[in-house]
Amino acid sequence: MYRVVIVDSEEITAKAIEKMNIWRIRHDFKLVAVEHNEEHAMDCLRESKADIVCVVTNGRFIKDITLIRCIRHRLSDIHLILISTDNSYEQVRTGFLAGAFDYLVRPVSEEQFDCAISRIYERFGEQYVWEKLSFKVDALIENIFLGGGNTDIICESILEQIYSDWGNDAINGQVVGDRAKNKIYEELIQRKPWLEKFIYDKHYTYQMGFRVKDKETIKREWKRDFAQAAKVVKKYQMLDNKLIYHIGKYVVVHVDERLTLEDVSNGVFLNKSYISHVFKKVSGINFIDFMTDVKIDRAKILLMDEERKISEIAATIGYSDAEYFSRVFKNKTGFSPSQYKEYLKT
């Protein structure tokens, strides 16, 4: 269960949030404290062992931003939600730069607050999952090269081991989110035929000496190819500013849909023009180009499966026209999808 603290000097917003049904309906979050004196906020957060803090600004934005920076510096594991009456670009930008995970505008509806903490819930899970995945991949590589073994058993074993660990381990006593866990597990299952073939090819050719490659070279190749999977979920983390963090994340999470700017606008509760403007201004990246890049990264993973048809892959990531998808893919990578498949075999 994630522990939530509200810091609100005027009490009005805090009382409204306290009365929300979310605390009775959801059992993964608990409101453990409400602090009305900002001077005591740090002590309150430490004593309550908070995972999430909601800081409500009441006309003292600079002071509240200072508090957020202090929390981010001293209690870096806490996720911050900033709640304000001002939705101007400069204030939103300042809030994110100070370290806020999310920015809500008063009055805050229950739906908006639920969405905000749900995003944090997913973030906790995904962050932990990818740390575990990285560790398990390294362990698997060592196991293959040092111990050998049946490739099918190795594949099944690593998938089950990762899934089991995600189910039993916890972050500060809290269970990893099922949505994040299941999404990535399904991704691994889908890639099992490629994974098994990759293990066999690398292991067999190394053992028999058919290719003049040393162990470290092969291991680097392994990590390079496997790491491509992580890029789909982690693409949004490449962005330099937290103001566009949630926009980028929404695109990544919904990459397998026929996503439009309007879909993203509805999903993150922001105006379409505002999304395009702020995304370009803050990151230097055209938003449509970003969406395309995410889809192409996803396509690269799907192309690792030799059994998948290019038309099927195109449809999976939202392209109804396979020829158009091929043109976009070549424009972004320099390879046609079929050429990229051949490249993966080398």
The pLDDT tens digits of the residues spanning 254-306 come to 777 788 888 888 887 778 888 888 888 777 778 898 889 888 877 887 887 77
Q: Where are the beta strands (DSSP E) in 198-335?
A: none
Q: Is pLDDT at 182 greater than 70 in this prediction?
A: no
The pTM assigned to this predicted structure is: 0.43
Percent above pLDDT 70 for the chain: 64
* Among candidate residues 218, 234, 250, the one where a domain is terminated: 234
Nearest alpha-carbon partner for 202 in 220, 229, 227: 220
Q: Compute CA distances 106 → 58, 82, 84, whole Å.
A: 10, 10, 6
My answer on whether 40 and 102 are in the same domain is yes
Average pLDDT over residues 320-328: 93
Question: What pLDDT does 312 receive?
Answer: 92
DSSP assignment, residue 177?
P
3-state secondary structure of 151: helix
- Residue 115 belongs to some domain of the structure: no
How far apart CA 59 and CA 70 sit, in angstroms, is 19
CATH of the domain at 41: 3.40.50.2300
Question: What pLDDT does 156 receive?
Answer: 54
My answer on whether 54 and 128 are in the same domain is no
How far apart CA 240 and CA 194 sit, in angstroms, is 33
Domain that holds residue 178: 120-234
Percent above pLDDT 90 for the chain: 12
DSSP assignment, residue 150?
-
Q: Which two tokens stand for residue 55?
A: 């800081």
Strand order in the sheet with 102-105: 29-35, 2-8, 52-56, 79-84, 102-105
Q: Cis peptide before 193, with omega less than 30 degrees from 0?
A: no
My answer on whether 222 and 246 are in the same domain is no
Question: What pLDDT does 157 receive?
Answer: 55
My answer on whether 151 and 224 are in the same domain is yes
212-229 pLDDT per residue, tens: 344 455 445 444 544 444
